[in-house]
Amino acid sequence: MTAAKRGYPDLHEHLEALKKRGLLLTVDRSIDKDAELHPLVRWQFVGGIEEHERRAFLFTNVVDGRGRKYAFPVVVGALAANRAIYGVGMRASVEEIPAKWDRAIANPIPPRFVKQAVCQEVVIEGAALQGEGNGLDRLPIPISTPGFDSAPTLTATNVITRDPETGVQNHGTYRAGLKAPDRLVIRMATRIGGAGGYRHYLKHQSRGDKTMPCAIVLGCPPFVAFMGPQKLPLDVDEIGVAGGLAGEPINVVRGRTVDLLIPAESEIVIEGFIDTEYLEPEGPFGESHGHVALEEFNMPMRVSAITHRKNAIVASYISQVTPSESSAMKRVAYEPLFVTHLRNTLGIRGVKRVTLHERMTALRRLTLITVEKGTPRTEVWRALYGATSFKADCGKICIAINDDIDPDNSDAIFWALAFRMNPVKDLQVLPYRSPGHGPEREDELEPQDDSTLLMDATMKEQLPPLALPKQEYMERAKAIWEQLGLPKLRPQSPWFSDSRGDWLPQWDEAARRAAEGRYLENGRISEKLRRKGLKPETRFRPDDRDQ
């Protein structure tokens, strides 16, 4: 089949780019997709490995719990095991990504329709979808949370549905648990700020439609795959934004059995129809909020066709407890949206950065707003209010900090709360918040309200420097550490201090003399400054000596 013209990479080309940068690890030994595959990749998120050391994993020899072998390889972490991998997919440095998203959203490029596509090189329909070992059962779909999940689950999805009234398509990343060779159950979020696909489902129901056409894509070109987790305005045709990212139209082909436009360079496409009348128990599944989602009724889909390219690769995401591939991808996408909202829409120029806390809190619950030192108190509070109200499921706890605090270091955040916040003045609790994305309790017959906590942990006055050696002395000691062959260091911010804050040049000079072994000179200087009639612990500043 002749490949359609394009300049953007597909998944195969993306993996080759990762390989050249040392960001892809190929595992050729036999790996059990049901009990070993996701736990193996999980170790790079919970094993104390730094983010920049994470890799995408390509498994070429996949078996199931019964020893059955599969023809397809599986890749995990290929889109966002870390931010560098995300940057390769975006063909931009991490620093350039926010501006690239802004340009793409403002300047979408409509897709290019093609009649033939590599995603339809192999077509499976009818009787070939029936029976064990056929249809969905041919695909090596991993179990994400062995010991808790009740089925292999599609995670790295672009689930395509279409608004029956406007014709605008939606790409959503929704999980889908396998039930039979020709049946699966899809979970589309119904909460506030949830799934665009769910809105299409409701419209089909209101029209009396018994089914909703759907296509589940595994392994889109990266520019398209990034659309699924990204939260764009409702009724935006995401394939056009993907074209904006690519700088050219994305090739699309019409589905074999559903009237939907599908990215032509996809790896695997599962076409079918979602039942809008009946729901089916999905089974427990480890959710991205970090808890196991207990059994719920969700949307059954009957598969009408599976198409794939001849050398297809099955893509899967690591999600569940954060950090994860899923949270890394969302974090890079969401944070610039918050900054744009606060700086450009609300005009709060003192905002320098917004950080959605990732580890364990799944991005949505804890938001850190870094503001420039000296930002007026009123602007700090406008930023807190603006961040907590921007997205319904984000910002339950919002903390304002200055840029000397590393927002990715929880100890540094606790330090700012301990020394820079007066709870009486710098803390507010707001009622009436949606519970958002999180575990549900058995006794919650009706959705419960949540609330919001806002804290101003910025400096209200000049404070002395942090009591750590200056950088030059720490680096000098680090060199000795390494010469001694001691364990590899993983510096935790802050690991040095500087002279910012309430600090005078005279103290810098005295410290330099002490570090050079000349402390006796400091003693001779201080002896000349003795005074009578003072209480111990009376403050002294060298710049007051002549007053």
pLDDT tens profile 136-184: 999 999 998 888 888 999 999 999 999 999 999 999 889 899 999 999 9
Would you say the pTM of this structure is higher than 0.85?
Answer: no
* Integer Cα distance of 475 and 471 in angstroms: 6
Q: Which amino acid is at 129?
A: L
On average, the pLDDT of the chain sits at: 89
With a cut of 70, list the residues of the chain below it in pLDDT: 1-4, 191-194, 231, 233-234, 288, 290, 436-448, 544-547
**Residue 135 zone, left/alpha/beta (φ > 0; ψ -120 to 50; rest):** left
* Residue 165 near residue 200, CB atoms below 8 Å: no
> Quick one: fold of 11-316?
Pnp Oxidase; Chain A (2.30.110)
Q: How many CB atoms lie within 10 A of CB 219?
A: 31
* Residue 396 near residue 436, CB atoms below 8 Å: yes
Q: What are phi and psi of 187, to 5 degrees?
A: -110, 115
Choices 3.40.1670.10, 3.40.50.300, 3.40.50.460, 3.40.50.2300: CATH for 325-456: 3.40.1670.10
In the chain, domain spans: 11-316, 325-456, 471-544
Sequence-distant contacts of 187-191: CB under 8 A, at least 24 apart:
187/282, 187/285, 187/296, 187/298, 187/299, 188/159, 188/298, 188/299, 189/437, 191/392, 191/393, 191/434, 191/435, 191/436, 191/437
Q: Please tell me whether residue 463 adopts helix, strand or coil conformation.
A: coil
Give the residue among 148, 181, 284, 173 at the shortest CA–CA distance from 231.
173
Residue 337 neighbours by CB under 8 Å, 6+ apart: 101, 231, 390
Both tokens assigned to 11: 């998944």
pLDDT at residue number 1: 52
pLDDT at residue number 439: 63
* Residue 234 near residue 269, CB atoms below 8 Å: no
Both tokens assigned to 176: 């889908």
Sheet strands (E) in 84-193: 112-113, 122-125, 153-154, 157-162, 169-172, 176-180, 183-186
